[in-house]
Copies of this chain bind each other. A is one copy, B any other.
Amino acid sequence: MARGVNKVILIGNLGQDPDTRYTPNGNAVVNLNLATDESYKDRQTGQLVPKTEWHRVVMFGKIAEVAGQYLRKGSKVYIEGKLQTRKWQNKEGQDVYTTEVVVDINGQMQMLDSRGEGGGANQGAPAGRPQQAGNAAPATASQSGQQSGGGSNQPSQGSMPEPVDDFDDDIPF
Task: Determine if A156 is an interface residue (Cβ-Cβ < 8 Å).
Answer: yes
Q: Main secondary structure on chain A at its contact with chain B? A: strand
Pick the contact of A145: B9, B95, B105 (CB < 8 A).
B105
Task: Determine if A119 is an interface residue (Cβ-Cβ < 8 Å).
Answer: yes
The 4 closest A-B pairs by CB, nearest first: A99-B99, A4-B36, A40-B154, A5-B11
CB distance from A107 to the nearest CB of B (A): 10
**Residue of B at shortest CB range from A43?**
B151
Given contacts A2-B142, A5-B108, A76-B112, 9 further A-B contacts (CB under 8 A): A2-B37, A3-B140, A6-B12, A53-B84, A76-B114, A83-B83, A106-B142, A116-B116, A144-B145
Task: Determine if A132 is an interface residue (Cβ-Cβ < 8 Å).
Answer: no
**Residue of B at shortest CB range from A139?**
B3
Evaluate contact between B110 and A11: CB separation under 8 angstroms.
Answer: yes
CB distance from A119 to the nearest CB of B (A): 7
Query: How many Å lie between the Cα of A144 and that of B127 in the bound state?
Result: 30
Pick the contact of A99: B85, B112, B156 (CB < 8 A).
B85
Task: Determine if A164 is an interface residue (Cβ-Cβ < 8 Å).
Answer: no
Pick the contact of A10: B7, B98, B112, B117 (CB < 8 A).
B7
Evaluate contact between B9 and A4: CB separation under 8 angstroms.
Answer: no
Task: Determine if A138 is an interface residue (Cβ-Cβ < 8 Å).
Answer: yes
Cβ contacts A73-96/B at 8 Å (1 or 0 each): 000101010111100000000111
Residues of B contacting A101 with CB < 8 Å? 83
Task: Determine if A157 is an interface residue (Cβ-Cβ < 8 Å).
Answer: no
Evaluate contact between A6 and B173: CB separation under 8 angstroms.
Answer: no
**Residue of B at shortest CB range from A159?**
B43
Task: Determine if A133 is an interface residue (Cβ-Cβ < 8 Å).
Answer: no
